[in-house]
Chains A and B, each alone.
Chain A
């Protein structure tokens, strides 16, 4: 019996352990198995409350970095792009923001800042964005009152997540452009570049 037990243990180490090691990708990080698969969702599930030419609703939100961020603090000095994403640990969102990590220079050329916003709480956003590497832009939590900022723009979906939306606000605080994407798809970079180029110089 003891011999059989030893053999089973031997079999486990020789066969199962190498198998377990081999199925874990060498590029650990946002591992595919850590992403919750949402399936295909209703493309847009809200009605905008703002329009181009409106003054953007002001807000103050806590950030993953620790300091609260107030939109109106940028008035007079910086153009602002708000990037709302639906939820942490979901497809599309989990590559959209890492991709924006390559846009720092593009934003700087247009005197613009990028603010990432999600309705997730700070601990969730901390864990999620830590997997993305060092993001150069602030990540803000619109968790409580739940989705209040998304609601003020009219981009809070009926399930409590936000739309995948980009709001372009010039340095005077006026909305220059709004992109509410199909939630299942990532907005192409060229659309962002084109709108950044249209920003006035502060």
Chain B
């Protein structure tokens, strides 16, 4: 009996080591890859992201003026994204409210395998208030190691002005409030 308990304790200890090891791996900063996006034609979106230029120009994602950036990977053809859209909109609202007195939080969406027209249709259908970009050939989806839609990549801006990835998940989040809290905590806020 004592032997059984001893073995069980050892096994439990081993199991505890697994997340500890994962945490240690997370400690090595994973930077958001460099990529560019077209400057939004809307002056409202330009102000939201802190970027300027003609809509024929591009900006680097690291130039987005934010302490915390959340990137949503979605598709107009993804039924789970449709179902999650209201909660994502709610999260955006919470992020906006948080930005008023706390860290500057920004969100963008990348439409995986979607044309600009399809992204616009998605935006119109679900009244999405944050900027969405088309990722027709899924270059950005692959670059960000997307593993299904919806997916989320949360980042914090480091002192060098570059975004570091702090959250990566595929699938819906449980609640907007919970995911906001997770973002803030992982960002050290």
A102 touches B171 (CB 8 A): no
Distance, CA A72 to CA B170, complexed state (A): 45
Query: How many residues on the B side are at the interface (Cβ–Cβ under 8 A)?
Result: 28
Q: Which B residues are in CB contact (< 8 Å) with A27?
A: 80, 84, 148, 150, 170-172
The residues of A that contact B113 with a CB separation of less than 8 Å are 186
Contacts known (A29-B79, A95-B77, A189-B118); A3 close to B172, Cβ less than 8 A: no
CA of A189 to CA of B115 in the docked complex: distance in angstroms? 8
Structural contact, A101 and B8, CB atoms closer than 8 A? no
Bound form: Cα–Cα A14–B12 in Å: 7
How far is the CB of B189 from the nearest CB of chain A, in Å?
25
B75–A193 CB distance below 8 A: no
Count CB-based A-B contacts (< 8 Å): 74
- In the complex, B82 has a CB within 8 A of chain A: yes
Q: Which of A4-12, A53-61, A78-86, A160-168 contacts B (4 or more CB under 8 A)?
A: A4-12
B30 at the interface (CB under 8 A from A): no
Closest to A185 in B: B113
Identify B82's interface contact among A11, A101, A186, CB under 8 A.
A101
Question: How many Å lie between the Cα of A136 and that of B153 in the bound state?
Answer: 32
Once bound together, how far apart are the Cα atoms of A15 and B13, in whole Å? 12
Interfacial residues of chain A within 21-76, with CB under 8 A of chain B in the complex:
25-27, 29-30, 32
Contacts A/B (CB < 8 Å), 29 sampled? A3-B7, A6-B4, A7-B7, A7-B11, A10-B8, A11-B11, A15-B15, A25-B170, A25-B171, A26-B171, A26-B172, A27-B80, A27-B171, A27-B172, A29-B79, A30-B79, A32-B148, A95-B77, A98-B77, A98-B79, A98-B82, A99-B118, A102-B82, A102-B121, A102-B122, A132-B79, A133-B79, A133-B83, A190-B117
